[in-house]
Amino acid sequence: APDNPVFSPVQWDFVLKVLADVTLRVLVVCSELPLVDDSNANIQAFMTSSKVPSSSSSSRPNPRSSCRSWWGAAPRDQQRLLTLVSEWKLQKPNRELVLLSGASSMGGALASTVTDMKMRTEFHQHVVGPIAGPCHTALVPTRTGVVADRFAFQHDVVLPGENNFAVLTLAAAEGRDPVVTCRRVGQVQ
């Protein structure tokens, strides 16, 4: 529902206040679901499709019902947040931006590169799959695409169909570029 915002005005004020902190060098944006998941058109098509995903059954809720909470279902908020954090990254040297999210209904973990085609910068998104729940292969997004005609993405599926979690290591030594590494831990690693 594009007219149903994800953030309230109070939450937007908080985001703007955080981004105004000139001492901030590493920004990790955490979200329940991926900020960049699929193109807005693909999400809308999936939501309105009459075809039931093959991985669903009568004993499980239809994974399509969760689409309403996806960032791509609220494109204005999605574009605004992506624009704000991307522009924050470029305002000063030695800044790092990482998106981190869960995807409890997705078919595996994703390692994504997001490129702001207007500002010519890129950042990474790390999506962890479910730790204990089932992996639904019907909800794996398109591997490449564009969000809001500005943010190109490329998803690489890692640990497909495997329950997993991720550990982020952050290092921000004075006068050096911050470094963020992500280690994924699956069931069989």
pLDDT at 100 over 80: yes
Q: Which two tokens stand for residue 140?
A: 């794996």
Give how many domains the chain has, as a whole number: 1
Is residue 2 domain-resident?
Answer: no
Which range marks the domain in which residue 80 is found?
9-50+62-186
Of 9-13, 27-31, 109-113, 116-120, give the lowest mean pLDDT range. 109-113
Q: How far is CA 88 from CA 64, 77, 96, 126, in A?
A: 33, 16, 9, 19
Is residue 57 domain-resident?
Answer: no
Q: Which two tokens stand for residue 124?
A: 């990474």
Q: What is the pLDDT of residue 40?
A: 65
Q: What is the pLDDT of residue 1?
A: 45
- What's the whole-number average pLDDT of the chain? 83
Q: What is the pLDDT of residue 57?
A: 45
Is residue 180 domain-resident?
Answer: yes
Is residue 33 domain-resident?
Answer: yes
Structure pTM? 0.84
Residue 86: Cβ within 10 Å count? 20
Q: What is the pLDDT of residue 67?
A: 58
What's the mean pLDDT in 119-134?
Answer: 90
Q: Which residues are CB-contacts of 65 (< 8 A; sequence separation ≥ 6)? A: none
Q: What is the pLDDT of residue 44?
A: 64
What's the mean pLDDT in 54-76?
Answer: 60
Q: Which two tokens stand for residue 55?
A: 């991985």
Per-residue confidence at 70, pLDDT binned at 50, 70, 90?
Answer: confident
